[in-house]
């Protein structure tokens, strides 16, 4: 297939090859009913009785049974070995929000590659959904309603500063870096936080319970713009 973009006007669910719980799958497709699979994520879609709108990847993980049920016309084969199936998908999808299932958990090296892809493709809004956590690249101006004493971790993928309100441990005068100072295990002092990273390099990690508030907050936030 060529690299024609798949464009959606509403949020989509992107399914990867790691394990996806029934609750996560059902809640995600309820919010974002258009489903795209990244390679082996197609097997998960078929398992839950959903035919994806497209499958993107090098097709080294999709089952032959899944291929047959989905149909060759929806298979977007990308042979490159220089990027992951998740990154291949991000390059080819345009949507106001991408909900990523099956990218957290299982193999740690895959999860780290996915987190790197969030930073490389900083102009895309992506929410990764795991069993216990939600992970996303923090927009330039981000606010969300949580609850008092809710766990909030900010993790720098490069050197960056982060203005904030509503966190117990202040961040404003800190230069964050994965080589020195990180911001894990912070928490809220009320029911709302605001974050203002100086660069698209900060991952925010909050509890899975706040799926809907995170979706709404990301949708209402202005994105980082590609150069």
Regarding pTM above 0.85, the answer is yes
Give the whole-angstrom CA distance, residue 134 versus residue 79.
30
Superfamily name with CATH number, domain 6-131? Thiamin pyrophosphokinase, catalytic domain (3.40.50.10240)
Q: How confident is the model at residue 5 (pLDDT cuts 50, 70, 90)?
A: confident
Tell me what percent of the residues of the chain surpass a pLDDT of 70: 98
How much is the pLDDT for 2?
42
How much is the pLDDT for 24?
97
Percent composition of the chain: helix, strand, coil (DSSP 3-state, to 5): 25, 30, 40
Question: For the chain, where do the domains classified as CATH 2.60.120.320 start and end?
Answer: 142-207
pLDDT over 80 at 46, yes or no: yes
pLDDT (tens digit, 9 = 90+) per residue, 157-192?
A: 999 999 999 999 999 999 999 999 999 999 999 999
Superfamily name with CATH number, domain 142-207? Thiamin pyrophosphokinase, thiamin-binding domain (2.60.120.320)
Question: For the chain, where do the domains classified as CATH 3.40.50.10240 start and end?
Answer: 6-131
pLDDT over 90 at 26, yes or no: yes
First to last CA, the chain: 27
CB-CB contact of 137 with 119 (8 Å): yes
pLDDT over 50 at 1, yes or no: no
Which DSSP state fits 223? P
3-state SS assignment for residue 75:
strand
Q: How confident is the model at residue 4 (pLDDT cuts 50, 70, 90)?
A: low
């Amino acid at each position: 297939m060529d690299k024609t973009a798949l464009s959606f006007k509403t949020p989509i669910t992107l399914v990867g090859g790691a394990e996806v719980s029934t609750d996560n799958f059902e809640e995600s497709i309820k919010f974002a009913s258009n489903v795209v699979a990244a390679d082996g994520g197609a097997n998960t879609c078929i398992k839950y009785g959903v035919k994806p709108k497209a499958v993107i990847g090098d097709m080294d993980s999709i089952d032959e049974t899944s291929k047959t049920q989905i149909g060759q016309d929806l298979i977007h084969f990308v042979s490159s070995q220089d990027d992951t199936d998740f990154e291949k998908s991000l390059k080819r999808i345009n949507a106001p929000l991408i909900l990523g299932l099956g990218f957290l958990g299982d193999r740690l090296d895959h999860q780290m590659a996915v987190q790197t892809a969030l930073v490389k493709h900083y102009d895309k809004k992506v929410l990764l959904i795991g069993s216990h956590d939600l992970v996303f690249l923090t927009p330039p101006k981000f606010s969300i309603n949580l609850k008092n004493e809710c766990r909030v971790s900010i993790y720098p993928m490069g050197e960056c500063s982060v203005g904030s309100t509503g966190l117990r441990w202040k961040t404003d005068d800190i230069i964050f870096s994965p080589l020195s100072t990180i911001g894990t295990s912070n928490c809220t002092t009320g029911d709302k936080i605001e974050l203002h990273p100086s660069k698209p390099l900060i991952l925010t990690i909050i509890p899975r319970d706040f799926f809907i508030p995170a979706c709404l907050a990301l949708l209402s936030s202005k994105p980082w713009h590609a150069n």
